[in-house]
Each structure stands twice: as C-alpha cells, then as structure tokens.
Structure 1
Amino acid sequence: MEGIAISDTVTAWILLAALAFARVGTAVLMLPGFGDAQIPARIRIAFGLVMTLALMPALPLPAPPGQITALALLFAGEILVGAFIGTGTRVLLAAMHLLGAQIGMVAGLSNAFAPGVSNTESATVLGSLLTVAAVALIFVSDLHHVMISAILRSYAILPPAHLPVGDMADQIARLGASAFRISAALAAPFLVVSVLLNLGLGLANRVMPGMQVFFVAAPGMILAGFALLALAVPATLDVMVETLADWLLGLTR
C-alpha cells in the first residue's frame, strides 16, 4: 500500500509539472529572445523546462482531474494561454518588421533581404536590424524579467480551466492593430521626407529635362533614409519597449 501511495504521488507530481510546462514552456518557446528561430530547439525546450521547474512552487496549479477528457481539455487550455502570451508579444514586436519594410520601400532598400531574426521568414535588412535592436534592448532594460513575471501572474488573470477565448482573440486583434499603428506612426517622417524629395526631383526634372533623375534620386533617397534612421532609431526603440512593457505589465497587475 505504501508503494502504491508513493507511485500515485509521483504520478500526480509529473502531471502537475506537465501542466505547468504546458503554459510556461509554450510561452517561453514563443517569447522574443527566448524562442527566436536562431536558438536551437533543444536549448529552447531545455530552458522552458528549467523555467517551469523554477516557477512551479509559486504556481497555483489545480489537482489533475481523473478523467482523460477533462485532463486533455485542461492541457489544451494551458497551451492556448501560453501561446496567447507569446503570440501577443510577437505581434507587438512585428511592428519593427513592418517599420523596416516601410523604411526600406521609401529608402530604396526594399529589395535587400536578410534572414529573419524572430522567425524563419526573410525580412528586409532594416527590418532585421530593428528587430535585433529591439530584442537586445529587451534584455538590456531587464524587460525579460517582466516577461517571466507576466507568465507567473497570468495564473491570477487566466486561472487554469478558465479560458475566455473571445477576450483573448479580441486582445490579439487589438495588438495587431497596435503594431500597424506604431509602424505607421514611426514611418511617417520617412514618408514625408520621401514625398518632399520626390517633389523636388520632379521639379528639377521639369527645369532640366536632360538630368538623369533616377541616378540622382536613388543615392539621395538612400542617404536621406539612413540619416533619418540614425536620428529616429533611439526614439523608435523606446516606443517599442514601452509598448511591450505596458502590455506585459497589464498581465502582472
């Protein structure tokens, strides 16, 4: 009887650890910096396991249900919550990808592609640069601690067996809209400069029809784009990190 009791205890502990990994591990595998495509899958999974074991004593985990169907639904719900946290952060960070694409189009660098940083898709050079800078600033500013705290405190907002799918889908849609709004707002100065330069070159071409506008415009657009980018990068990264921090802190309050 004693051996059976120990076996039941070990089984329950393993189920609780798996239940914790379903949320914590899924979130870690998708968060920026922790779950980037350049990090080998084994390292990501191992870090998720270590993070799960470290946070497990503080997690309000429920007793695993005895029915297989209820247990499977509980695991699916925890995986969905972890994916919600990771996807929300990724969707906001995609603003840097969109911003880089818009700046590249304006500066004449839209055809310069580079491997994606946060995923396996290719991106513009400027998009990859901005994404790398944003991820680096996340760790420099200790925002990764807020990410871990958000996973921990998510149990208070989204407890196990409580899955508001509609609210989560609405939140992801709002985050997507915020990413487009941020990228459009930050790209506005580049669009204005592009319009002014093109208007000036168009007037110059009318005055001097023999001028090779394309060969004059391309270097000028690239130079103006890089100069404006050098001035705008600090403010751009500050806005990105503050937006991420505001959303993550919403899960910790």
Structure 2
Amino acid sequence: MHVDISFLPALGAAFILAFGRIGGMVMLLPGFGEANLPARVRLTIALVLTAVLLPLHRQAYAVNLNSLAPVTVEMVEEVVVGLVIGMSARLAISALQIAGSVVAQQLGLGFVTSIDPTQGQQGALVGNFLTVLGVTLIFATDMHYLVIAAMNDSYAVFKPGELPFAGDVAKHMTQVVAASFRIGVQLAAPFIVFGLLFNLGLGVLSRLMPQMQVFFIGLPLSILLGLLLLVAVLGAMMGTFTDFLQTVLGQLATPP
C-alpha cells in the first residue's frame, strides 16, 4: 500500500504560520499571557487554538517552499497581526490600572504598592485588585471567546501574506489607548469628587481649628470612607468596564 505524504511539508509550514499569528495573540492576552502562567501552559493553549483554527483557513495559506525568504516574510506578517489583536485586549484592560491608580491617590493609598500579576511590575494596590477582578470577570462572562472570534475573523480582514497598513494599526492603537484612559478616569470619577470634597472639608476644618492635627485624623478617615465608597460603587465600575471591553473585543471580532 502506498501512502502519499507529499502534502505534509506544505501543511507543516501552514501550521507554523498560523501558530505565529495565534501565538502572538496568546502572548499578550490578559489571563493567558501572564508571566506567572507556566510557559508550557501558554504554549499548549496556542497549539490547541492553532489546531482548531487552521482547518478553517488552510486554503488561505499559499506557501512557497522553494525559497526561505517568502516564508520568513509571511511569518513576520502573521506575528504582527497576532500582536495587534493581543495588544488591543491588553491595552483595554489597562483602564482598570489607570482607575486604580487614581483611586489609590484619592484614598491616600498611593504609597501602597504590590506586584501587578498582569504586568509583572509594581503598581498601586487598588489597581492590582481591580485588574485581577477584571480578568476574572472576562472568564466569568465568557468574553474570552470574543478574542478567539476576533482571531478567526482576522483572516477575513488581514489575509495571510498581507501586512496591515501602519497607519490603520496606529489609528486603531491610538483609539484603544484614548478609550482606555477615558474609561479609567470615568471609573475613578466618584473618587475624584470624594477626594476634592474631603480635602476641601479638611482645609476648612484646619482653618477653623488650627490646633487640631488634621493629618492624623484625615488620613485614616479618608481611607475608611474611601473603602466604603469603593464597596458601594464597585459593581457599577466593573459593569461599565465589562461593557467597554465587550465593545472593544466586539469591534475586533466584526470584520468590516
């Protein structure tokens, strides 16, 4: 019996190219691409996603194995597409870190820092809490499927062998960064108002009673009232964030 295996080199090259696109996305995705997640787990996720999506888009890869240069160029293009999608999700979730930093400053907790598990560097404690909560909500609400849908639809927007226009990528990234900063400030808006009124009240109190040690009374009271306010508005904050993230991911998952 003769078994024809002549298709294996082309199939293997197509798998590697698809893995470049999907691996670039997984490397930056919140939850999947964290530094504290074992590399083998991230690699397994990327390989499984590649095995699932490749049969749907196998015909899109016209691989020329006669020369290494075309395959190398196409590999770079695939990685760039994956990085654009993964970076969009990563920038969107950074809105929580922005909001957390503003909240921490208003509560008097700006000096309390810890390692942010999503960025691998020190950040405000409140911001780290909101970020971890946001990643948990992504999986709890099944929004991570929107990222997989965006990867699947990216083959209709960015066909293999076509490098995204630098202007379009820059415009998209600028819009995501601006929207993330805007949402971050909006999430922290109640605490900005709280900090303004509280510090104004402390200023008036210090003028009325100069002998009172306002700092020793104001800082614990600011932390206590701020934490109570955080508990009161946390649900609304995370609801606003999930709506924003769903909008960003939905735009990526909907080809024009």
Fold shared per TM-score above 0.5: yes
Amino acid at match of 1:28: V
- Aligned equivalents of 2:158, 2:62: Cα separation in 1: 16
Q: Report the CA distance between 1:165 and its aligned residue.
A: 2.0
- Aligned equivalents of 1:69, 1:54: Cα separation in 2: 27
Whether the 8 Å CA contact 1:88–1:172 is kept in 2: the answer is: yes
Whether the 8 Å CA contact 2:108–2:222 is kept in 1: the answer is: yes
Sequence identity percentage:
35
Q: TM-score, normalised by structure 2?
A: 0.93
Q: Report the CA distance between 1:251 and its aligned residue.
A: 2.5
Q: Which residue of the partner structure matches residue 33 of structure 1?
A: 31
| Structure 2: runs of 5 or more not aligned | none
Q: Which residue of the partner structure matches residue 13 of structure 1?
A: 11
- Determine if the alignment matches structure 1 residue 23 to structure 2 residue 21: yes
What value does the CA root-mean-square deviation take over the aligned residues? 1.4
Whether the 8 Å CA contact 1:22–1:82 is kept in 2: the answer is: yes
Q: Which runs of 4+ in 1 moved over 4 A?
A: none
- Aligned equivalents of 1:158, 1:236: Cα separation in 2: 34
Whether the 8 Å CA contact 1:157–1:251 is kept in 2: the answer is: no
Q: Which residue of the partner structure matches residue 108 of structure 1?
A: 108
Whether the 8 Å CA contact 2:85–2:252 is kept in 1: the answer is: no
Query: Any idea what SS the aligned residue of 1:36 has?
Result: coil
- Aligned equivalents of 1:203, 1:157: Cα separation in 2: 59
Superposed CA deviations along residues 96-137 of structure 1, whole A, max 9, x for unmatched, are 111111111110111111111212111111111000110110
Q: Which residue of the partner structure matches residue 96 of structure 1?
A: 96
Superposed CA deviations along residues 191-227 of structure 1, whole A, max 9, x for unmatched, are 1111111111111111111000100110111112111
Query: Any idea what SS the aligned residue of 2:123 has?
Result: strand
Deviates more, 1:11-20 or 1:59-68: 59-68
Q: Which residue of the partner structure matches residue 69 of structure 1?
A: 69
- Determine if the alignment matches structure 1 residue 58 to structure 2 residue 40: no
Residue correspondence of structure 1 range 108-147 to structure 2 within 5 A:
108-147=108-147
Amino acid at match of 2:208: V
Q: Which residue of the partner structure matches residue 173 of structure 2?
A: 172
Whether the 8 Å CA contact 1:55–1:152 is kept in 2: the answer is: yes
Q: Report the CA distance between 1:244 and its aligned residue.
A: 1.5
Q: Which residue of the partner structure matches residue 151 of structure 1?
A: 151
Q: TM-score, normalised by structure 1?
A: 0.94
Amino acid at match of 1:101: S
- Aligned equivalents of 1:111, 1:99: Cα separation in 2: 15
Query: Any idea what SS the aligned residue of 2:114 has?
Result: strand
Amino acid at match of 1:182: I
| Structure 1: runs of 5 or more not aligned | none
- Aligned equivalents of 1:41, 1:164: Cα separation in 2: 31
- Aligned equivalents of 2:166, 2:111: Cα separation in 1: 39
Q: Report the CA distance between 1:59 and its aligned residue.
A: 2.2
Q: Which residue of the partner structure matches residue 218 of structure 1?
A: 219
- Determine if the alignment matches structure 1 residue 229 to structure 2 residue 227: no
- Aligned equivalents of 1:94, 1:38: Cα separation in 2: 18
